[in-house]
Amino acid sequence: MKLVAKSTHGENIVVRGARVLDPAGGLDQVLDVRVDGGVVAQIGSALDTNEHRVVGGEGLVLAPAFVDPHVHLRTPGREDEETIATGTAAAAAGGYCAILAMPNTEPVVDSAAVLESLVERARAEAEIPVGFLAAISKGLDGAQLTEMAELAERGAIAFTDDGRPVASAGLMRRALQYSAVAGRKLALHCEEPTLSRSGDVHEGTVAAELGFGGYPSVAESLMVERDLALAAYEERPLHLLHLSARESVEALRAAQAAGVEATAEVTPHHLSLTDEAVRSLDPNVKMNPPLRAAEDREALLRALRDGTIGSIATDHAPHARQEKDVPFEEAPFGVTGVETAFAALYTFLVRPGLIPLETVLRRLSHGPAEAYGLAPPRITVGARANLVLLDLGSAWRVEEAAFRSRSVNSWLLGETLTGKVLLTVADGRVAYAA
Amino acid sequence: MNDIPSTRITVVRESLPPKPPERRHLISIRDLDRDDVERLLATAQSFESSLERELKKLPTLRGRTVITLFYESSTRTSSSFELAAKRLSADTMSIKAAGSAVDKGESLKDTALTLAAYDPDVIVIRHPHIGAPQLVARVTEARIVNAGDGKHQHPTQALLDLYTMRAALGRLDGLHVAIVGDVLHSRVARSLIQALELVGARCTLVGPPTLIPRGMAAESSSDIATIADADVVYVLRMQRERMLEGANYVPSLREYAERWGVTRERLRPGQVVMHPGPMNRGVEIDAEVADAADALIQQQVRAGLVVRMAVLYDLLAHGPTAVPADAVLEVAS
């Protein structure tokens, strides 16, 4: 199980005098960090810089770089919306040292041939390490399992039909059983399609007033409960994608307490917004699952704090400008997010005191790596350098022109955010410098 | 966890510099306050006398351009907007989706940009999708009047309904209106519920639970007998396209008509009946009820003209040539 990038060339760097914050390692101290050949070689005070590139870190935070477990790179098929090169460059600018790409492309990543061509392209153009998930069912049609064992051999990190639910309980059970052969987890988009259908907006007062077909919370939580029950029965682990409803969180908490090996993720937009934002009818607040009520947001925040939800995932979903420049009801689901995730979380959650900085950093890095069995980024001697340098005092305005992503469908356009990524070191290489 | 800051809408207001006063639109009843409604109804009233004259045209909007852009079929709404604009001497242009570049796959944005090249003062739009008027407002400089967007809003219908109710019953404050039928799919109901709340009227939704959306801010009942309390029985069109097999909103139109159809027997003397049209006689409304002398359905159509004249006048009345509607009437007569 390996992530792929275009270069593994390790660099020599010293970051001087930053507040080094590695919550997983219990480290929070002003220190120098020296990287030799891409490996953290020394952590201490007044370190020798040799011939190294020196980065002034005074007044800044140096943390383990982030891992995004949920990105749509739109390649193959919609390279007009995103490519491996632009998506990974965008992620690097967001402080990420690794991302996982979803398989709902055109064609779907459901065969060794498609997966291998992606791995090859990533080796040529990925700015940071990228891993690929493969589909659970061929063509995401929910009928026939993919050749999971072979796909795992060729590098599939996990399996998912993300974008669509596995509607059949029978197929879900078989997928859980067979994924044991592949030695990989399933990552599940939980949506009961006969309840969510024609729903663009969370079913509640806002949808009722605006006239939208409601997408009720129970459409998600019913599937979460089904999949947790099957996982418990088959004694298999699973990962729940982009949770949005408080009932889902409650089901997850109960399953974890009962010993089910279940992890979950939540997006910055579900943590920051509620369905009230839909009143603007801005197509850039239309996503699946939809923004939900204030009580749902509270439950997500609580679960993120107490660790029930261990990962923050952007669900970065680029869309061509002309596809979003339509009436809300006609617009496709999804928003971009890798370039704004940290600043959004810092602005809307950390600064108002809802979630401590340490928790956000941990859920952006250690949590998702652990959920997928990847080596968690750490700031410790001997570890590959996966570092992000953050300026917590700097405010910036989110503008179309500054995006490295090929798409601009951000829910934060025009917003002023606080917290800026200044430097990203991914697998020992400087992948981004502001 | 009580201190979670509110959502984006507030955030945006905090972080953006103050904007110049915005162009006014009529996209939702939410764009209006009670004073606006009173002023619009009074303006409509003042236009009423012009309808009695032999020469019906007023010079009020001479030199202004009003474009109607209809992506859905319409008889009442499109014709009354067009006539309203003409009665006020505006130049008008009607675009229908069928037969236009829309047939060739042109996007709403591009059509709006094309029309914007003619510098229209007002674009009246009807579209099957929620959010279409907002899109046109974003990409043009025109004032936008929503003539119906999906299941969202149809504000001029609600205004003409208020106008009709007041004309017939002499008041709006304290009036009790029962809205009967398919509320779920009805933009007319959504606008009317908000408008009734704005003027202090009471509103009850009556229909099968499958057709009353969760979270609607009004009392509701599935018992047709509850209409007995109402001063006005407002019957919604049962949209046949919603009754396709498998949709299961109601088992059959027959059962719907039997349970919720508004018939003479279910009304009490003194109640007035309204319907936004087009009607399905024998389904949501009995033919006898529709044709009865105390039904206000024809009055609604007539009110549509003066109310839409008032809306167009009101949106454009704040320009350099602003004159009160009454004053203009004097000049004209």
Q: Are A100 and A159 in contact (CB under 8 A)?
A: no
Which among B7, B134, B190 has the least Cβ separation from residue A273? B7
pLDDT at B7 over 60: no
Which residue of A218, A291, A326, A355 is the best one to mutate when testing the B interface, meaning the one whose CB has the most B CBs within 10 A?
A: A326
Query: CB contact, 8 Å: A294 with chain B?
Result: yes
Same fold, B20-152+302-317 and B155-300: yes
Return the residue of A nearest to B131 by Cα: A327
Residue B109 C-alpha from the chain's centroid: 23
What superfamily does domain B20-152+302-317 belong to in CATH?
Aspartate/ornithine carbamoyltransferase (3.40.50.1370)
Q: Of B87, B151, B154, B237, which is the active-site residue?
A: B154
Residue among A246, A286, A325 with most chain B CBs within 10 A, to mutate? A325
Backbone angles phi, psi at B84, to 5 degrees: -60, -45
Residues of chain B in contact with residue A326, where contact means CB-CB under 8 angstroms, are 107-109, 129, 135
**Chain B partners of A206 at a C-beta cutoff of 8 Å?**
215
What pLDDT does B52 receive?
78
Closest to A328 (Cβ–Cβ): which among B4, B130, B213?
B130
The size of chain A, in residues, is 434
Select from 1.10.645.10, 3.20.20.140, 3.40.50.880, 1.10.10.10 the CATH code of A65-376: 3.20.20.140
Active site residue B126: yes
pLDDT tens digits, A324-357 = 999 999 999 999 999 999 999 999 999 999 999 9
User: What does the alpha-carbon distance between residue B275 and residue B235 come to, in Å, rounded to a whole number?
Assistant: 5
Q: Tell me the backbone φ, ψ of residue B27, rounded to 5 degrees.
A: -105, -35
| Residue A162 bears catalytic tag | no
The size of chain B, in residues, is: 333
Contacts of B6 in chain A (CB under 8 A): 276
> pLDDT higher for A319 or B48?
A319
Q: What is the pLDDT of residue B73?
A: 84
Contact A329 B7 (CB under 8 A): no
Strands A311-312, A39-44: parallel, antiparallel or unpaired by DSSP?
unpaired
- What phi and psi, each to the nearest 5 degrees, are found at residue B237? -70, 135
Q: What's the average model confidence in pLDDT over B23-32?
A: 92
DSSP A194-251: HHHTT--EETTHHHHHHTPPEE-HHHHHHHHHHHHHHHHHHT--EEE-S---HHHHHH
Check residue B271 and give its pLDDT. Answer: 94
Based on the residue annotation, tell me whether B39 is a catalytic residue of this protein.
no
- B103-130: average pLDDT: 92
The pLDDT of residue A173 is: 98
pTM confidence score: 0.91
**Using CA atoms, how far apart are residues A216 and A192, in angstroms rounded to an integer?**
10
Give the model's pLDDT for residue B242.
Answer: 64
The predicted-structure confidence for B263-281, as pLDDT tens digits, reads as follows 999 999 989 999 998 999 9
Q: How many Å apart are CA A75 and CA A102, to the nearest integer?
A: 10
A170 near B CB under 8 A = no
Tokens of A98: 């690794």
User: In the predicted model, is pLDDT for residue B301 greater than 70?
Assistant: yes
CA distance, residue B284 to nearest chain A CA (Å): 21
Residues 110-169 of A with CB under 8 A from B: none
Give residue ranges of B with CB < 8 Å to any A CB: 1, 3-9, 11-12, 15-16, 107-109, 127, 129-132, 134-135, 149-153, 187, 190, 194, 213-217
Summarised one tens digit per residue, pLDDT across range A62-106 is 999 999 999 999 999 999 999 999 999 999 999 999 999 999 999
Convert A321-376 into a string of H (helix), E (strand) and C (coil).
Answer: HHHHCCCHHHCCCCEECCCCHHHHHHHHHHCCCCCCHHHHHHHHCHHHHHHCCCCC
Return the amino acid letter for B332.
A
pLDDT, tens only, B180-221: 999 999 999 999 999 999 999 999 999 999 999 988 889 999
Distance CA A85, CA B174 (A): 64
Structural domain spans, chain B: 20-152+302-317, 155-300
* pLDDT confidence of residue B291: 93
Helices B297-316 and B76-87, packing angle to 10 deg: 50
State what percent of residues in chain B have pLDDT above 90: 70
Structure confidence by residue, pLDDT tens digits, A260-313: 999 999 999 999 999 999 999 999 999 999 999 999 999 999 999 999 999 999
B49 pLDDT band, cuts 50/70/90, is: confident
The verdict on a CB contact (< 8 Å) between B215 and A212 is no
**B122-169 pLDDT, tens per residue?**
999 999 999 999 999 999 999 999 999 999 999 999 999 999 999 999
The domain B155-300 having CATH identifier 3.40.50.1370: the answer here is yes
The verdict on a CB contact (< 8 Å) between A273 and B214 is no
Nearest CA in chain A to B212: A208
pLDDT over threshold 60, residue A201: yes
Of the candidates A275, A315, A391, A427, the residue annotated as catalytic is A315
B149 Cα to chain A: minimum distance (Å)? 9
Give the mean model confidence (pLDDT) for residues B313-317. 88
pLDDT at B19: 43
